Chain A
Amino acid sequence: MSLRIVVCVKYVPDATGDRHFADDLTLDRDDVDGLLSELDEYAVEQALQIAGEADDAEITVLTVGPEDAKDALRKALSMGADKAVHVEDDDLHGTDVIGTSLVLAKAIEKTGYDLVIAGMASTDGTMGVLPALLAERLGVPQVTLLSEVSVDGGTVKGRRDGDSASEQLEASLPAVVSVTDQSGEARYPSFKGIMAAKKKPVESLDLEDLEIEADEVGLGGSWTAVDSAAERPARTAGTIVKDEGEGGKQLAEFLAGQKFI
């Protein structure tokens, strides 16, 4: 029996570039390059490892995003995923997390799945809640924020390292999993992988295909509203001294002046 894995990957602005908000207070995508969210590379990696252990598995990578988001799918395909689904629709512009979870859940159901794997958080919105929302919508167990994950037969197991404790978790498939950056280094695509990715199928879906009304998503359908976005004023230049034997004492003097000592 084949294990159907769907990996959710997000196309995000490069964090090392200058990220801005556009006039409508959504993400300005024109000013900065996009890429596959680095934290979703860990999700793709774990999918590949789980598939490698299974008798027969198929990995679909799924993204909701604009035209360019295909780049994120290509990267995941070049790492070794089998096929891709791209949900793209002009009406999706400005969708919040509740709306995004609706679109992803419908696309996952349409694709068919035994296991959904997501990253721990996107590197732009960084909410870290989408996997839990998917589990709620799909009505399946959430096994989230795992630093270690394995699938055996119909069961997924994993370790969740929380603030106060480390937990061993277990659930039956189908389930939604999310993995952290502690789950294991993600592989680099090989040249062969990059060439093969060009031939792998990328299916495009729009809102109509998913039977979602335009007013359920987008800025208009959003359940949250951003009223203003202001660039944080640059910090005023601090004092910088070179250590010539008294650096620690000078620092202590500064800290005492600020009443920290």
Chain B
Amino acid sequence: MAEVLVYVDHVDGAVRKPTLELLTLARRIGEPVALALGNGAADTAAALAEHGAVKVLTADAPEFADYLVVPKVDALQAAYDAVSPAAVLLPSSAEAKEIAARLALRIGSGIITDAVDLEAGDSGPVATQSAFAASYTTKSRVSKGTPVITVKPNSVAVEAAPAAGAVEALTVSFSATATGTKVLSRTPRESTGRPELTEAAIVVSGGRGVNGAENFGIIEALADSLGAAVGASRAAVDAGWYPHTNQVGQTGKSVSPQLYIASGISGAIQHRAGMQTSKTIVAVNKDAEAPIFDLVDYGVVGDLFDVVPQLTDEVKTRKG
């Protein structure tokens, strides 16, 4: 069976969920070979093996942390040369998309980004994409070279499928341009203890209607009662009420949870672009004409300062 190269997203050896989703999709088109880079790379092996990786290639070098993107492209290319895979899959994070694009150019292949599904086809893997703020669904293929495809988080349910996961060190020689962009310093983001926005099963978001940073506590309380991640509209972020990393939409994160709860958000096209594919959509807005109500499964026309705390109390009561 053909091998499929999967680029691993991990933090110090802890594999992030989108990578497990990639392994699940990779098994539809071949045998997954995983590539893990940087600090803790070898520690990823057990999780990767449990999800179907037949082999885990690892490499660590200071270059991966000290310079932007290119050293990782060099490593992915080395893995590509070693494996000769039928396809290369990466998560659709900002960095992984850049790595994917540069690899595609180097190996003379086309690239598809932000796939939401993947299946085997007669002439190679067929990717489903959402276009124009998810108003269209397209099916595309890479027609030249080895398909390089990035996949959005939450595109598929993770399935375990134990495999050998034999760890093998990969030799990487860095290209002349690898040290071009220096990372002078890195400030890790503080963990909130809440689930990762793009991976969460439930997302609770607040917009301009929340009317102040101090009021975001209402949104957070609802999120915590449901074990959800917190999102925000750009209007709320631009006003400085919530960090940009929590922005949902075209220039923020794109989320596809089981449940999306929007409070005080009008539903502008750029916001919809980031949440329209959520399975169930709920909104609280005092304006009955707000465009968000065109998308909802359940909507409450009302003041969020009344509705949201009542909902939170009710959730807590029901959960006991």
Are A120 and B141 in contact, with the CB atoms below 8 A?
no
Other-chain residue from A142, A232, A249 in contact with B69 (beta carbon distance below 8 A): A142
Are A126 and B250 in contact, with the CB atoms below 8 A?
yes
Are A248 and B298 in contact, with the CB atoms below 8 A?
no
Tell me if B180 counts as interface (CB < 8 A to partner A). Answer: yes
Other-chain residue from A126, A182, A238 in contact with B296 (beta carbon distance below 8 A): A238
Q: How large is the interface on A (under 10, 10 to 19, 20 to 34, 35 or more residues)?
A: 35 or more
Once bound together, how far apart are the Cα atoms of A171 and B94, in whole Å? Answer: 19
- C-beta contact mask, B302-320 vs A, less than 8 Å → 1, else 0? 1100111111111100110
- C-beta contact mask, A212-248 vs B, less than 8 Å → 1, else 0? 0000000000111111111110010011111101111
Q: In the complex, which residues of chain A have a beta carbon less than 8 angstroms from the beta carbon of B188? A: 164-165
Tell me if A145 counts as interface (CB < 8 A to partner B). Answer: yes
Q: In the complex, which residues of chain A have a beta carbon less than 8 angstroms from the beta carbon of B250? A: 15, 123, 126
Q: In the complex, which residues of chain A have a beta carbon less than 8 angstroms from the beta carbon of B136? A: 21, 229-232
Other-chain residue from A120, A129, A141, A258 in contact with B177 (beta carbon distance below 8 A): A141
Q: In the complex, which residues of chain B have a beta carbon less than 8 angstroms from the beta carbon of A165? A: 186-189
Give min CB distance, B264 to chain A, whole Å. 13
Q: In the complex, which residues of chain B have a beta carbon less than 8 angstroms from the beta carbon of A101? A: 105
Give min CB distance, B317 to chain A, whole Å. 8
Tell me if B39 counts as interface (CB < 8 A to partner A). Answer: no
Are A258 and B145 in contact, with the CB atoms below 8 A?
no
Tell me if A261 counts as interface (CB < 8 A to partner B). Answer: yes
Q: In the complex, which residues of chain A have a beta carbon less than 8 angstroms from the beta carbon of B308? A: 248
Once bound together, how far apart are the Cα atoms of A169 and B69, in whole Å? Answer: 12
Once bound together, how far apart are the Cα atoms of A209 and B265, in whole Å? Answer: 49
Tell me if B112 counts as interface (CB < 8 A to partner A). Answer: yes
Q: In the complex, which residues of chain B have a beta carbon less than 8 angstroms from the beta carbon of A231? A: 135-136
A222 in contact with B68 given A126-B114, A167-B185 (CB within 8 Å): no
Are A223 and B270 in contact, with the CB atoms below 8 A?
no
Are A223 and B142 in contact, with the CB atoms below 8 A?
yes
A239 in contact with B126 given A21-B136, A223-B144, A248-B311 (CB within 8 Å): no
Besides the known contacts A39-B251, A98-B111, 12 further A-B residue pairs in the complex with CB atoms under 8 A apart = A96-B110, A126-B273, A127-B113, A128-B97, A133-B102, A141-B177, A141-B180, A162-B94, A223-B109, A232-B136, A240-B298, A252-B314
Chain A to chain B contacts (Cβ below 8 Å), 16 pairs: A143-B181, A162-B94, A165-B188, A165-B189, A170-B181, A170-B184, A171-B182, A223-B145, A224-B140, A228-B139, A231-B135, A243-B303, A248-B312, A249-B314, A250-B300, A251-B314
